[in-house]
């Protein structure tokens, strides 16, 4: 069963001078198996929107249908919100701030306990959830959640949601406030959860580079409306419009656009760094009649970034060796082009700054 949202509108503090429209006539269908990314400014309505899906806010206008449960503005029939919340798991921003119990085990058990499950079932689910988020159950279960590290706390909080075995998972800024290594781990965890826990995932993120790494469909909120709802490959054809409403676009797209502007024939459905690399290698092959394996190059780059992060985490930033070991051809061809592009950007920035100074005078 997909999730269908029809004509949803919501206004905060209706009828007072603090009145603020958060959602205006939202229509959206989320299919089972979707890996949906939601982007938008702070205050664009995206948080209000996901709170609706979990039944935390009652719709003022319009209706929502989630796994046969219907939410409307009417009081009756009464909705079984517990049922809904066991099916739709919601991980809030900074979820570690909701931890309260004296041991990790008790905290993770809070959700399943509220569902009224038997003790054995709860225990089994708690163990499964803690292991699912990549923590050692035996080591961690009796520790106080407040003495864990930031990343671990976040995992425990996510485990608390997973223990309810939701069919769908919503995450609000899951990587906010983490270091690059912690971010990488949470992103991998989300991917893992999609395969092993809940098939439908919705993620809100500010970091466009991050969201493009896993989402297959992106919804853009602006000013309490949905402005774009497209597969990821299509969305960045509207780069200009996205930038006009003040949203960032992935670095790979920026580079591709700049190269295209320079007259290089780059394909226009590039989203990730891998896509870009593959495309550049293909172009390089064509021009110089070489036969470098694009797939392998992409893989190397991926491997490189992983090694870099791992190494960074162990020894601080010393990535000189890895740099040398990677494929020279690709490095050179890429660097040349990017360097050109950077120079251009720099020139532009300097010109802009000078202009601004002049304007001030």
Q: Under the rule (CB under 8 A), what is the footprint of other proteins?
A: 12-13, 16-17, 51, 54, 56, 81-82, 85-86, 89-90, 92, 95, 97-101, 110-111, 114-115, 146, 160-161, 164
Distance CA 4, CA 149 (A): 39
**Which of 85, 51, 49 is closest to 67 using CA atoms?**
85
Residues 171, 205: Cα–Cα separation, whole Å: 9
Query: Which C-beta is closer to other proteins: that of 102 or that of 336?
Result: 102
- Reference 110, options 163, 70, 184; nearest CA is 163
Between residues 90 and 298, which has the closer beta carbon with respect to other proteins?
Answer: 90
In whole angstroms, the minimum distance from the beta carbon of 169 to other proteins comes to: 11
To other proteins, the closest distance from the beta carbon of 22 in angstroms equals 11
Residue 239 CB, shortest distance to other proteins, in Å, is: 34
| In the complex, least distance from residue 16 CB atom to other proteins, rounded to whole angstroms | 7
Q: How far is the CB of 208 from other proteins (least distance, A)?
A: 25
Return the number of the residue (49 or 284) whose C-beta is nearest other proteins: 49
What letter does residue 169 receive in the DSSP assignment? Answer: E
Which has the closest alpha carbon to 219: 203, 200, 239? Answer: 203
CA distance 5 to 323: 49
CB of 99 to other proteins, least distance (A): 7
Task: Give the integer Cα–Cα distance in Å for 127 and 105.
Answer: 8
Q: How far apart are the first and last CA of the chain?
A: 62
State the sign of the Cα–Cα–Cα–Cα dihedral 74, 77, 78, 79.
Answer: negative
**Cα–Cα distance measured from residue 110 to residue 183, given in angstroms and rounded to the nearest whole number:** 26
CA–CA gap between residue 117 and residue 90 (Å, rounded): 19
Token code pair at residue 54: 């979990």
Question: Least distance from C-beta 135 to other proteins, angstroms?
Answer: 18
Give the nearer residue to other proteins in terms of CB position, either 98 or 285: 98
Would you say 145 or 182 has its CB closer to other proteins? Answer: 145
Give the helix, strand, coil percentages of the chain, each rounded to 5: 50, 15, 30
* Of residues 36 and 161, the one with the C-beta less far from other proteins: 161
Task: Considering the complex, state which of residue 37 and residue 160 has its C-beta at the smaller distance from other proteins.
Answer: 160
* Nearer to other proteins (CB atom), residue 164 or residue 218: 164
Could you give the CA distance from residue 167 to residue 67 in angstroms, rounded to a whole number?
A: 9
Q: Residue 144 in 3-state DSSP?
A: coil
CA-nearest of 282, 188, 220 to 41 is: 220
Minimal distance in Å, beta carbon 92 to other proteins? Answer: 5
The residue behind tokens 């601080």 is 316
């Amino acid at each position: 069963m997909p999730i269908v949202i029809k004509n949803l509108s919501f206004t905060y503090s209706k009828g007072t001078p603090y009145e603020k429209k958060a959602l205006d006539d939202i229509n959206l269908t989320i299919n089972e198996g979707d890996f949906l990314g939601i982007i938008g400014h702070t205050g664009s309505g995206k948080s209000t929107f996901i709170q609706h899906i979990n039944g935390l806010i009652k719709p003022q206008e319009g209706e929502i249908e989630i796994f046969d449960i219907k939410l409307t503005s009417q009081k009756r029939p009464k909705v079984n919100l517990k049922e809904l919340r066991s099916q739709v798991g919601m991980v809030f921003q900074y979820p570690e701030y909701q931890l309260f119990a004296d041991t990790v085990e008790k905290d993770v058990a809070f959700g399943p306990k509220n569902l009224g499950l038997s003790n054995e079932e709860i225990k089994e689910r708690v163990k499964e959830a803690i292991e699912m988020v990549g923590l050692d159950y035996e080591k961690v279960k009796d520790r106080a959640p407040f003495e864990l590290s930031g990343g671990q706390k976040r995992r425990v909080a996510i485990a608390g949601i997973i223990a309810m075995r939701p069919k769908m998972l919503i995450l609000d800024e899951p990587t906010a406030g983490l270091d690059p290594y912690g971010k990488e781990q949470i992103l991998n965890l989300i991917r893992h959860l999609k395969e092993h826990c809940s098939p439908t995932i919705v993620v809100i993120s500010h970091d466009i580079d991050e969201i493009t790494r896993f989402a297959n469909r992106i919804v853009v909120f602006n000013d309490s409306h949905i402005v774009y709802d497209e597969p990821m490959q299509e969305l960045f054809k509207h780069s200009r419009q996205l930038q006009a409403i003040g949203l960032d676009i992935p670095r790979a797209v920026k580079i591709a656009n700049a190269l295209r502007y320079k007259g290089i024939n780059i394909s226009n459905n590039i989203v990730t760094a891998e896509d870009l690399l593959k495309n550049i290698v293909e172009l390089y092959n064509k021009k110089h009649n070489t036969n470098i394996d694009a797939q392998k190059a992409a893989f190397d780059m991926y491997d490189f970034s992983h090694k870099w992060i791992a190494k960074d985490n162990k020894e601080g930033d010393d990535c000189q060796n890895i740099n040398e070991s990677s494929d020279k051809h690709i490095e050179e061809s890429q660097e040349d082009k990017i360097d050109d592009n950077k120079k251009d950007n720099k020139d532009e920035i300097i010109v802009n700054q000078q202009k601004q100074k002049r304007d001030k005078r």
